[in-house]
A and B are shown apart, each in its own frame.
Chain A
Amino acid sequence: NAGVTQTPKFQVLKTGQSMTLQCAQDMNHNSMYWYRQDPGMGLRLIYYSASEGTTDKGEVPNGYNVSRLNKREFSLRLESAAPSQTSVYFCASREDRVSNQPQHFGDGTRLSIL
């Protein structure tokens, strides 16, 4: 059971380039989330998807787009990367959007924008 799988693990981009971060979960969870983690700021929610076919903005959505491709996959896209988007990106999934079930996280994608 792989849980939450993120690809790639590392990526370096130049300013202005585009990039899609992939996330897949094999736990049949309804909800999926994208966070970014910056030093001293904890985890901040970028976008989330409460169920297949729906997406909503989180705390810091500017500069990002998402796609809930199917129940398993939730991708995060940077259309025109900026140095301020250098961060570690985590995908998470959760069993049920209306209960207190905790989130399960992937191992992250470390993204550097030059």
Chain B
Amino acid sequence: GQQLNQSPQSMFIQEGEDVSMNCTSSSIFNTWLWYKQDPGEGPVLLIALYKAGELTSNGRLTAQFGITRKDSFLNISASIPSDVGIYFCAGPRTTSGTYKYIFGTGTRLKVLA
């Protein structure tokens, strides 16, 4: 089936550092979503992107919809310990007009204080 590849799979960073991660697809998407999952909880939407080239911020988070529509990027500035968790990208696939979302395998972030 269609896959979304996230990179890196995991990363350890020092508090205060900036973080970059990306998501790539073999197919074109018209929407990119970024979710964060805290330990023991469900994914929570961080940023939604709806237009190629779009750059959207949510606090210290900034996400971009790639020009090719096959990739997206998430940056976290000045990381803090509560940024720890798994970050997922997701994109829609339509079947007979019904939207289903495909999720990447996630980037696991650990922040060292």
Q: Which residues of A contact B (CB under 8 A)?
A: 4, 31, 33, 35, 40-45, 48, 50, 56, 58-59, 90, 92, 94, 97-100, 102-108
Residues of B within 8 Å of A4, CB to CB, are 42
Provide the B12-31 mask, 1 if CB < 8 A to any CB of A, else 0.
00000000000000000011
Kindly state the separation between the CA atoms of A79 and B33 in the bound complex, as whole angstroms: 34
B100 touches A45 (CB 8 A): yes
B103 touches A98 (CB 8 A): no
14 contacts between A and B (CB under 8 A): A42-B4, A42-B105, A48-B98, A48-B100, A92-B42, A94-B99, A98-B97, A98-B98, A98-B99, A99-B99, A100-B92, A102-B90, A103-B45, A105-B35
Q: Which residues of B contact A (CB under 8 A)?
A: 1, 4, 30-31, 33, 35, 40-45, 48, 50, 88, 90, 92, 95, 97-101, 103-106
Asked if A40 meets B99 with Cβ closer than 8 Å, knowing A100-B92, A105-B43, the reply is no
- Checking B50, B95, B98, B103 against A100 with a beta-carbon cut-off of 8 angstroms, the contacting residue is B50
A58 touches B105 (CB 8 A): no
B101 touches A97 (CB 8 A): no
B100 touches A107 (CB 8 A): no
B101 touches A103 (CB 8 A): yes
- Checking A42, A94, A108 against B103 with a beta-carbon cut-off of 8 angstroms, the contacting residue is A42
Q: Which residue of A lies closest to B49 (CB)?
A: A100
Kindly state the separation between the CA atoms of A33 and B43 in the bound complex, as whole angstroms: 13
Distance to closest chain B CB from A33 (angstroms): 8
Kindly state the separation between the CA atoms of A41 and B32 in the bound complex, as whole angstroms: 19
- Checking A40, A50, A102 against B98 with a beta-carbon cut-off of 8 angstroms, the contacting residue is A50
Asked if A100 meets B42 with Cβ closer than 8 Å, knowing A42-B104, A42-B105, A43-B88, the reply is no
Asked if A90 meets B99 with Cβ closer than 8 Å, knowing A42-B88, A42-B106, A59-B1, the reply is no
